[in-house]
Amino acid sequence: MCCALGPGERVAVGTEGGFIFLERGVNDERTVSCLKSANTFAGISATPGVTSLCFDERGEWLLVGHDDGGLTLWDIKRTPTILKTIVGAHRTPVIALVMLSKVESNGVVDVISSEEGGLVIHHTLSPLGMGVVRVKSASLGERTFVIAAHALPRVGSVSVSDINAHDNGIISPTYGETLSAAKNIADAAGVAALCTMNAVLIMRLNPRAEVIAKIVRPPNIAATVLPVMCWSPRWADEVTTHDNVEECNLVVVWGASVYVLSVDVESIKRSPGENERTKRAANTSRILNSWSIDPEGVVASAMATAWLSQDLICVLSSRNKLFVYTSHGQLIERVATSEPPIAREIVQATASHDAVFERLPYWHGSVAVRGVHFAMLSPSRLRRGKFFGWFERMQAKKAEGNWVGTLNTLIEVASDELPLWPSLSKKYADPETTRERAVQAFVDVVPQFLDESLNTRGIDSDDAAYFELITSVVFGLLLAFNALNQVYAPVVFGAFLNSKCKVAFLKGMVPHILSDKLRSLPAEVMQALVEHYAALDAANVIEQCVLHMDVESLDLNQVARLCKHHGMYSALAHVFTRALNDFITPVEAMFQASLEPKFGDKARVRQVLLFIFKTIQGEQFPTNGCRLSSEIVSQFRMEVMKFLFEPVDLNVFTMSTHDSESSLSTTWNAAMALAVREDDSSCPPLRLLYLLLAEPKASTVVLTEILKDWDASESEILAIDGLPTDRMGSQVIVEAVVFAAGACGPVNSAPTRSRLLTFAASIVGTGRATVTQQVERELLETLALAKTKHDVIEREKAMVSIIGRRIDEDITLNDECQILNLAREAHFAQAEAVIYIASGDHINALKALAGDEHRRNAAVHYVDVCLGKSGPGIVHAEQMNAGPAVARAHPLDTESAKVFQNELLAIMPVVAAKSADVCARIAIAYFPHAQAEVLNALSSEPVLQFQYLRQVLEAVHEVKDGVGSPHDMSLVDLVSATKSVVTTEMAELYFRLMCQFEPQDVLKYLKSEDVKSLDEARCLEYCREFNVMDATAYLLEAAGNYNEALSIHLCNYSTGIRAMAQLFTTSGAEWTKTAPAESLMKGFVIETNEALHVAVGMCRRVSSEVSNSEEMWWSCLDSVFRSLLELTDGAYKRVRDVLDEHLEDVLRVMLGRVDNAHLLEMIISRYGGRDISELRKLLTRVFGNCALEREFLKSEGSSVKQEADKKVLEDFQIRRRAQRGTRRTVR
């Protein structure tokens, strides 16, 4: 039995009984015909068996080879009929056939047939019309033994439309148009590959039959292995030619070894006088790549091979495996094929001298491959297959319920990563079109995927987490496809809305909207999203989504309606300002929303004020975008002022019974009652008044921004001519603010009233609005007497502006004393100073400015301006942060400047009392060599002297070094760093002030080089006066009073030990384990270590100079012993541990200087009447350690005394660093 594949998915199967089963498509239907060949010879009719089959390239002829050596040509274009029967062409069964159509030959076909006996014949079939075919035959070899043949495919042209017409995206080589002979060398040559038992022969038939290449068996391949081969498809755009030579690719498989070769085919070159001769190169084939299909060592042999495209090669192995490789040998896929095909046999003589033959299996004729289709003839059936394209692969996996494989296939196609797509070189396909088809395929399967996923969980399941997982899969795939907008496709959207995943789907959309991946919302999607989140009372989520939308893609009417209904006014502003360039409609909507359903909704009031503020500043609201143009801002300013100023009906401001109980409703009713009492004409614009009462702070900030460098009359704002009172906008605003402050009342709403009147005063002070004298006085009193702290600077600045305006307009300050009292009571230094500056009282102005707590540069800059060292005016004052009063100062004339400078020294105590910093800076700038005079002027206040000295030295330090912060330095460090010239009197004053205010740095100062001129007796007197103990001990030691100095150090030590003991006595056991207790303990340990170390160090220094050195050492040891013996209770274990360390340190030093026996005798005589068992243990341990160390040091030839001192010092330093580090960690 044998089989063959032809164009149009035609299949033919031949049987040993001579029957041929032909399946083909007729009128779009698949039909099966049963054909039977009958040969008549010598009047006897017989039905020979079928041994080989072959279709022509058009699929119109079927050539059949028989076991009697005959050939039958069938016309299968319509009703199968026999065109020609060739009887006796071969002596043995025909085992291989191949048909090649001649180029430009009117249907002439070349046929190569081979028999089992080895004979190969070339037939030329020429149709003559009326069903007559002429045959011309010629032998190509008697002993060639061709077992299979494959014609080189004709060149085809491919268009994108051909590919897009197929769901698979696959085009087999049978599609496309055949090119002319003039353009194709190999087509004109008529090339075929003939597979023999030992080689593959490449034969050309035109202009004459000849072998142009021979591919012999590789040396490592056994003689029993038969080859299989297949030509690569040829497409017009991929044909490679050079020097009239075309390269054609061929795959040959010997057993498990795969070889990809390139075969050169030359064009026909006729030389003069030699019409039939051709020239051919010696090397016409070469190996491009090779690999093995048996990498795991399993014995396998190739039964068939095929090119799926120029990029993919398929190999069918005898182990029932189908391998797919790239042309470079990379394994792409491996598929099991269950039942193997029928094995045919051929007889081959062995290499031995005996006439022994062996039968070799081969599968040519049992496996047929054409394009992407293949057929395998097994003993029980014919199995047909097809190499799936991406769409068919996806459909097959979906039918299996393999959704992972289905979705993965689509992702690979969309990302151009699927190696089996298409079975044609990818360069012929449009990647974008393919991606779109893959996306559409996914969209189409979403409903089924959703339905099956939910069914596997159970119809009644209500697992929210699982629903979110399913939804995230869909969104993730759409992101992978870069087609997230397909979430709005009716198929996808409808499938989710009609399933239990609706909530998860709507929630899943939000993150992608907020990340700007979904920039549009169809009307039905918007409606569903709003309904869902509105039911959850989470309209803010929808609002945030709208803010990230492309407003031009939205249904504006729907969005505006939904925004108003659900209170999404930020989204409403976003849509109107960006889509319609309308900025006033959102203001109107938000303002109206603040009135109803809840009167005085502060959130809405703040929102409308924020929108106005941002827009006036040229910023997009609510999200920052591009800056608004100045024209838009100017237009909006006029529109919003018109909105605030235009008259409205009072009924607009209605409130419910519940709203009437709020504070704003009470204030509003009071304002309306006030308007009725005074005069309806005095009532300010109601909208403006409403905002001022609802949010006074935000309203005044917004109005300040509106009025900045702008003003307009009422007629211009309202666009109405002939108004009875055409006031300026700032005047209207001030009157409204004063009216609102009056409605607030003086008691219950003091902060609100203060803020409103401060704002009004700031405008009145600029002269842009006027008020009555009574109102102005009320403004000043409110600014001064208000108790609010957050707006002190604004209130002071407003007060200065009003006073300054009155001065500039030459308005007599009849109430000057009252204003001064108000300014002093409020600590408004700037307001106080501006009155003095106007009257020429510069000294009092300086005194006032020196006390300015908010502007430390005010007084200094004022002096600089008056004395001509700095420029006057607002710009310089703002740069120096000197305040509005100093901005009004002017340089003094020469005489006045001299008088002013002379008076400065006299008022230094007053200035220093208010600010030592100001005093020091003025003194440095104008009295650099008069420090003594300044100090004398401050002699009545030592604190001021000390502060002055610090400020002077800090300033000098800054000038000299310019690095670091002198404010963190001590007085002694400043004296050293500034290298100040210090007289004896000043040095003594420095020392006394340090003892009084910085006692911790006195000892450091005494050890410096700056105290050589000081009287040590006076220094000791000051140290005793202010109880500076460490400095007192230092001076006593310097004076030779060692015993008293030592007693001070030991007293400090004992005090520290008692403090540690008291920590465990007065506090509970639990508290001593807390972090604060640990911190205190560490501090006491450090202090006692320091005191004992200083005492021991002193003894070491003076032991050689005094006669009672042993008594001094005993004093140190006695302090430790006494404390150790007093604290015998178990509660003091930690203190005793510290004392043990101290005792060991002291003994180590003493044992190098005092005889051990004498030391022990002293201890026993002093404490012989007490229980010293614990002390004896300690002494034994100490003496033992010291003895061992002393012996070791003696053996090394070192000084015991020096090494003992060195070891004690090192141990002390290490322990001190560790304890300090622990204290820092605890803190």
- State the average pLDDT over residues 754-765: 86
Do the Cβ atoms of 158 and 170 come closer than 8 Å?
Answer: no
- Bridge partners, 97 (sequence order): 113
Q: What is the pLDDT of residue 64?
A: 94
Q: What is the pLDDT of residue 180?
A: 42
Q: Is the dihedral of CA 1007, 1012, 1017, 1019 positive or negative?
A: negative
- pLDDT confidence tier of residue 440, bands split at 50, 70 and 90: confident
Q: Which of 246, 38, 82, 71 is nearest to 154 (CA)?
A: 246
Work out the widest C-alpha separation in the chain, in whole angstroms: 159
Q: What is the pLDDT of residue 959?
A: 46
- State the average pLDDT over residues 596-616: 89
SS3 letters for 192-210? Answer: EEEEECCEEEEEECCCCCE
> Hey, what are 1214's tokens?
């290490």
Least confident of 630-639, 1157-1166, 1218-1227: 1218-1227
> Hey, what are 754's tokens?
């203060």
| 1169: pLDDT strictly greater than 60 | no
Do the Cβ atoms of 89 and 319 come closer than 8 Å?
Answer: no
Q: What is the pLDDT of residue 583?
A: 92
| 482: pLDDT strictly greater than 60 | yes
Report strand pairing: 367-370 vs 132-141: unpaired
Do the Cβ atoms of 413 and 434 come closer than 8 Å?
Answer: yes
Higher pLDDT, residue 72 or 1224: 72
- pLDDT confidence tier of residue 1174, bands split at 50, 70 and 90: low
In the block, tokens 């054409």 appear at 370
Q: What is the pLDDT of residue 1058?
A: 85
Q: What is the pLDDT of residue 720?
A: 83
Higher pLDDT, residue 583 or 1067: 583
Do the Cβ atoms of 1060 and 1084 come closer than 8 Å?
Answer: yes
Least confident of 610-624, 933-947, 1095-1109: 933-947
Q: What is the pLDDT of residue 43?
A: 59
Angle of CA points 25, 366, 421, to nearest 5° = 60
- pLDDT confidence tier of residue 51, bands split at 50, 70 and 90: very high
Q: Is the dihedral of CA 990, 995, 997, 1001 positive or negative?
A: positive
In the block, tokens 């402050």 appear at 741
Q: Would you call 1061 helix, strand, or coil by DSSP?
A: helix
How far, in Å, CA of 759 to CA of 910, rounded?
34
Q: Which of 745, 645, 752 is nearest to 688 (CA)?
A: 645
User: Domains of the chain by range and CATH?
Assistant: 2-144 (2.130.10.10), 156-271+278-335 (no CATH), 393-454 (no CATH), 1055-1227 (no CATH)
How far, in Å, CA of 1125 to CA of 1107, rounded?
29
How far, in Å, CA of 703 to CA of 685, rounded?
14
Q: Which of 311, 502, 516 is nearest to 420 (CA)?
A: 311
Q: What Å distances lie between residue 82 and 50, 79, 132, 519, 846, CA to CA?
A: 15, 10, 10, 68, 129
> Around Cβ 1213, how many Cβ atoms within 10 Å?
11
Q: What is the pLDDT of residue 1212?
A: 58
Q: What is the pLDDT of residue 652?
A: 80
Phi, psi of 246 (to 5 degrees): -105, 135
Q: Which of 412, 371, 340 is nearest to 158 (CA)?
A: 371
- pLDDT tens, 884-919? 899 989 999 989 988 888 888 788 778 877 887 787
- pLDDT tens, 839-898? 889 899 988 888 888 888 898 889 989 998 888 988 888 888 888 899 989 999 989 988
How far, in Å, CA of 950 to CA of 427, rounded?
85
Residue 188 exposed, middle or buried by CB count within 10 Å (0-12, 13-18, 19+): buried
How far, in Å, CA of 953 to CA of 967, rounded?
10
With a CB cutoff of 8 Å and minimum separation 6, the contacts of 1021 are none
How far, in Å, CA of 926 to CA of 939, rounded?
20
How far, in Å, CA of 250 to CA of 152, rounded?
9
| 678: pLDDT strictly greater than 80 | no
SS3 letters for 306-367? Answer: EECCCCEEEEEECCCEEEEEECCCCEEEEEECCCCCCCEEEEEECCCCCCCEEEEEECECCE
- State the average pLDDT over residues 497-508: 86
> Hey, what are 927's tokens?
């009295």
| 1203: pLDDT strictly greater than 60 | no
Higher pLDDT, residue 555 or 1171: 555
Do the Cβ atoms of 934 and 948 come closer than 8 Å?
Answer: yes
- State the average pLDDT over residues 286-301: 78
| 1111: pLDDT strictly greater than 50 | yes
> Hey, what are 542's tokens?
């929808």
With a CB cutoff of 8 Å and minimum separation 6, the contacts of 731 are 768, 769, 770
Q: Which of 603, 586, 584 is nearest to 594 (CA)?
A: 603
Q: Would you call 928 helix, strand, or coil by DSSP?
A: coil
How far, in Å, CA of 786 to CA of 740, rounded?
17
- pLDDT confidence tier of residue 1109, bands split at 50, 70 and 90: confident
**Residues present in the chain in total:** 1227
Do the Cβ atoms of 543 and 571 come closer than 8 Å?
Answer: yes
- pLDDT confidence tier of residue 276, bands split at 50, 70 and 90: very low
- State the average pLDDT over residues 530-550: 84
- State the average pLDDT over residues 738-752: 76
Q: What is the pLDDT of residue 658?
A: 62
How far, in Å, CA of 1086 to CA of 1080, rounded?
10
Q: What is the pLDDT of residue 1190?
A: 53
| 568: pLDDT strictly greater than 60 | yes
Q: What is the pLDDT of residue 1227?
A: 38
Least confident of 513-522, 554-563, 917-926: 917-926
Do the Cβ atoms of 133 and 84 come closer than 8 Å?
Answer: yes
Calculate the dihedral angle through the C-alpha atoms of 754, 759, 762, 765, rounding to the nearest 10 degrees.
-80
pTM exceeding the 0.85 threshold for the entire prediction: no
Q: What is the pLDDT of residue 657?
A: 61
- Bridge partners, 111 (sequence order): 99, 123
Q: What is the pLDDT of residue 266?
A: 87
Q: What is the pLDDT of residue 177?
A: 39
Phi, psi of 816 (to 5 degrees): -60, -45
* Long-range CB pairs of 994-997, under 8 A, 24+ apart, other chains included: 995/1022, 995/1023, 995/1025, 995/1026, 995/1028, 995/1031, 996/942, 996/946, 996/1026, 997/943, 997/946, 997/971
| 250: pLDDT strictly greater than 90 | yes
Q: What is the pLDDT of residue 372?
A: 75
Q: What Å distances lie between residue 268 and 192, 352, 763, CA to CA?
A: 17, 44, 103
Q: What is the pLDDT of residue 29?
A: 75
With a CB cutoff of 8 Å and minimum separation 6, the contacts of 1099 are 1046, 1109, 1112, 1113, 1116, 1149
- Bridge partners, 227 (sequence order): 254
Angle of CA points 1011, 1013, 1019, to nearest 5° = 60
HSE (side-chain half, CA atoms, 13 Å) at 225: 23
User: How large a percentage of the chain has pLDDT more than 70?
Assistant: 80
- State the average pLDDT over residues 397-406: 85
User: How large a percentage of the chain has pLDDT more than 90?
Assistant: 13
Q: What is the pLDDT of residue 174?
A: 43
Mean of the per-residue pLDDT values of the chain:
79
- pLDDT tens, 153-211? 888 765 545 444 444 444 444 433 344 444 578 888 889 999 998 899 999 988 888 89
Do the Cβ atoms of 549 and 520 come closer than 8 Å?
Answer: yes
How far, in Å, CA of 611 to CA of 242, rounded?
74
DSSP character for 855? -
Task: Return the CA Rg of the chain.
Answer: 55
Least confident of 76-90, 498-512, 1149-1163: 1149-1163
- State the average pLDDT over residues 1137-1160: 73
Q: What is the pLDDT of residue 955?
A: 58
- State the average pLDDT over residues 512-519: 86
How far, in Å, CA of 288 to CA of 325, rounded?
14
> Around Cβ 512, how many Cβ atoms within 10 Å?
18
How far, in Å, CA of 308 to CA of 871, rounded?
91
Q: What is the pLDDT of residue 961?
A: 44
Q: Would you call 609 helix, strand, or coil by DSSP?
A: helix
